[in-house]
């Protein structure tokens, strides 16, 4: 029996606006799609928070015993500068400004994205498709929508007819927006737009002569609309209907609304059972975003090279900080909050290190089974990581009391405590024991330096003073100072 069969998981569904008991379409299997990055700049911490939320969801579903196909795309074409289907492609613009190929831009920032997520100990998705790798599938969807009379072609561009679609469907079902309000609040762009209605959105855009990224299609050379890629890739890898679709809160409208419309136009039914949206990370009380410059890059946090923080922080400390807020809540980033998280993280790791040395008694003063149930209850309540963390610190308190002989635990309960702590801290929350890692790194460095000291001693014994001096000088340049004394050579790090 798998864990999911005994655990009642509830997910907040953005489509209905309430928590619902999760039931997968296929017993024991979960299909999950998450909108990935548009790779035209370095990933900032606000982006990381969204992907971290779904990394934890992925981890917990796997922990419960589900077989999960997690699809997270890479947008490498079609994302224009604004939501009105106007302006340059963000990647093409970056390529033009830097005078490089668009795929050089894509490669650079995709590598950065993967590097940063690895540092944060993300699990890779099952499939990571790209928009440019699915042009054919996108064209076929457009042809289908046009054939059904829900899209039209003008001057080589194809637009989704929102008003026509809304005659039989509900455009705005996810965001709660009324089509009449959308019409009323839309500025009239007379003479500036070729769309029938301002609410219509692009399925295919004609590529002007200067547009670098272009593909042939039945309507001429062009490129796909941004919303279309996710419909094409989610359908291809997860089917016409799947379990979970996630992304940032800012994608709810128009991006996800358009995805629903496209899928319903093609297949005649809603594509997703549970829509999930992660909230924003703020900096100085304002949304963290690339476009405004109000952001901080993870590398700047790890190095301490920034004007916001007092010191450098390890990736696992930052991950711990982010997970102390529920994924649907706004969370503000600050130096004081990170310092407090670092203390809490170290306290958690210290307690883990104490587990093997605890004294075993005949009885337990800590109801381990009730505590374990509380941990699961927290995650089953829409993946409530801050409540889970509070329960983990309840265990930390008891561990310290047992260590000080102020509480007791028997051998069976200790094994349950160990396995549960490790499962939630490492497997579900995805934290890394940096204390142990740092100690291992320190031991490795010490061993390497001792080896060089021995090689230098051999060189001096052979009167090879040139080699001896070179080892000493190069170590000094790297911040390692050697000190020769009667008892031998010692070193210090500057």
On whether both 482 and 343 belong to a single domain, the answer is no
Total residues found in the chain within this entry: 494
The 3-state DSSP composition of the chain as helix, strand, coil percent (nearest 5) reads 50, 15, 35
The reported pLDDT for the residue numbered 241 is: 98
If residue 201 lies in a helix (H) or strand (E), which one and from where to where?
Answer: strand 201-206
Distances (CA, A) of 305 to 43, 108, 202, 302, 310: 16, 21, 41, 8, 9
Give the model's pLDDT for residue 190. 42
Domain with residue 358: its CATH number is 1.10.730
The domain boundary residue, chosen from 432, 456, 482: 432
Tell me the two tokens of residue 482. Answer: 């050697």
Assess if residue 194 is contained within a domain. Answer: yes
Query: Residue 3: inside a domain, yes or no?
Result: no
Structural domain boundaries, residue 116: 17-278
- How far, CA to CA in Å, does 460 sit from each of 457, 475, 487? 5, 16, 16
> 270 and 289, same structural domain?
no
Residues 195 and 312 in one domain: no
Q: For position 192, what pLDDT does the model report?
A: 55
Place of tokens 């450098």: 312
pLDDT at 472: 86
**27 shares its domain with 49:** yes
Judgement on whether residues 291 and 320 belong to the same structural domain of the protein: yes
Same domain, yes or no: 101 and 37? yes
- Residue closest to 86 by CA, chosen among 187, 232, 229, 215: 187
Angle between helices 335-354 and 385-403 (to 10 degrees): 50
Please tell me whether residue 130 adopts helix, strand or coil conformation. strand
Pair 309, 67: CB distance under 8 Å: no
Q: Are residues 386 and 483 in the same domain?
A: no
The arrangement of strands across the sheet holding 67-72 comes to 67-72, 29-34, 242-248, 272-278
Cβ–Cβ under 8 Å, residues 411 and 361: no
As a whole number of angstroms, the distance between CA 226 and CA 78 comes to 5
- End residue of a domain, out of 278, 297, 317: 278
Pairing mode of beta strands 157-160, 201-206? antiparallel
According to the model, what pLDDT value does residue 436 have?
56
Residue 79's CATH number:
3.40.50.620
Rounded to whole angstroms, how far apart are CA atoms 340 and 50? Answer: 22
Tally Cβ neighbours within 10 Å of residue 30.
24
Q: Does 352 fall in a domain?
A: yes
Long-range contacts from 92-101, C-beta under 8 angstroms, 24+ separation: 92/211, 92/212, 92/213, 93/40, 94/40, 94/41, 95/212, 96/212
Angle at 22 between CA 18 and CA 23, to 5 degrees: 135
Distance CA 70, CA 34 (A): 8
pLDDT the model gives residue 300: 94
Tell me the two tokens of residue 463.
Answer: 């009167």
289 and 248 fall within a common domain: no
Tally of structural domains, the chain: 3
| The predicted structure's pLDDT at residue 256 | 97
C-alpha radius of gyration, the chain, whole number: 28
Q: What pTM was estimated for this model as a whole? A: 0.86
**Co-location of 116 and 21 in the same domain:** yes
Residue 242 lies in a domain: yes
DSSP character at residue 341? H
Cβ proximity of 45 and 319 under 8 Å: no
**pLDDT tens track of the chain, all 494 residues?**
999 999 999 999 999 999 999 999 999 999 999 999 999 999 999 999 999 999 999 999 999 999 999 999 999 987 887 766 777 889 988 998 999 999 999 999 999 999 999 999 999 999 999 999 999 999 999 999 999 999 999 999 999 999 999 999 999 999 999 887 777 665 544 445 799 999 999 999 999 888 889 999 999 999 999 999 999 999 999 999 999 999 999 999 999 999 999 999 999 999 999 999 999 999 878 888 777 778 899 999 999 999 889 999 999 999 999 999 999 999 999 999 999 999 999 999 999 999 999 999 999 999 999 999 999 999 999 999 999 999 999 999 999 999 999 999 999 999 999 999 999 999 999 999 986 545 555 566 777 887 888 888 888 888 888 888 888 888 887 778 787 876 678 776 65
Does residue 6 form part of some domain? no
């Amino acid at each position: 029996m798998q864990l999911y069969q005994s655990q009642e998981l509830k997910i907040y569904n953005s489509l209905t606006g309430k928590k619902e008991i999760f039931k997968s379409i296929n017993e024991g299997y979960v299909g999950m799609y998450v909108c990935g990055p548009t790779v035209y700049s370095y990933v900032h911490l606000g982006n990381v928070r969204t992907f971290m939320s779904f990394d934890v969801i992925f981890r917990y579903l796997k922990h419960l015993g589900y077989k999960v196909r997690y699809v997270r795309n890479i947008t490498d074409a079609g994302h224009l500068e604004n939501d009105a289907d106007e302006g340059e492609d963000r990647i093409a613009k970056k390529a033009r400004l830097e005078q490089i190929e668009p795929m050089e831009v894509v490669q650079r920032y995709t590598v950065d994205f993967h590097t940063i997520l690895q540092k944060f100990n993300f699990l890779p998705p099952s499939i990571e498709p790209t928009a440019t790798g699915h042009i054919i599938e996108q064209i076929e969807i457009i042809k289908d929508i046009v054939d059904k009379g829900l899209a039209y072609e003008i001057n080589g561009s194809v637009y989704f007819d929102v008003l026509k679609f809304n005659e039989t469907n509900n455009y705005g079902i996810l965001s709660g927006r009324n089509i009449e309000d959308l019409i009323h609040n839309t500025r009239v762009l007379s003479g500036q737009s070729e769309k029938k209605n301002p609410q219509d959105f692009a399925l295919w855009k004609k590529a002007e002569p200067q547009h670098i990224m272009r593909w042939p299609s039945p309507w001429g050379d062009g490129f796909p609309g941004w919303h279309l890629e996710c419909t094409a890739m989610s359908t291809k890898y997860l089917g016409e209907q799947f379990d979970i679709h996630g992304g940032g809160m800012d994608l709810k409208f128009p991006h996800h609304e358009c995805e629903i419309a496209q899928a319903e136009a093609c297949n005649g039914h809603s594509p997703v059972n549970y829509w999930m949206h992660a909230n924003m990370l703020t900096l100085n009380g304002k949304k963290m975003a690339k476009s405004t410059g109000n952001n901080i890059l993870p590398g700047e946090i790890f190095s301490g090279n920034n004007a916001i923080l007092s010191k450098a922080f390890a990736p696992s400390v930052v991950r711990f900080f982010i997970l102390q807020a529920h994924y649907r809540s706004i969370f503000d980033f600050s130096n004081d909050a990170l310092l407090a998280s670092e203390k809490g993280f170290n306290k958690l790791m210290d307690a883990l290190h104490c587990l093997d040395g605890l004294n075993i008694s005949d009885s337990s003063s800590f109801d381990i089974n009730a505590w374990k149930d509380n941990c699961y209850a927290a995650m089953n309540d829409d993946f409530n990581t801050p409540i889970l963390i509070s329960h983990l610190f309840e265990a930390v308190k008891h561990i310290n009391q047992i260590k000080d002989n102020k509480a007791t635990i028997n051998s069976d309960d200790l094994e349950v405590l160990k396995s549960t702590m490790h499962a939630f801290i490492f497997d579900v929350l995805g934290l890394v024991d940096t204390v142990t890692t740092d100690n291992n790194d320190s031991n490795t460095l010490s061993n390497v330096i001792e080896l060089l000291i021995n090689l230098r001693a051999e060189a001096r014994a052979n009167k090879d003073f040139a080699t001896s001096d070179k080892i000493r000088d190069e170590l000094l340049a790297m911040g390692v100072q050697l000190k020769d004394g009667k008892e031998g050579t010692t070193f210090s790090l500057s």
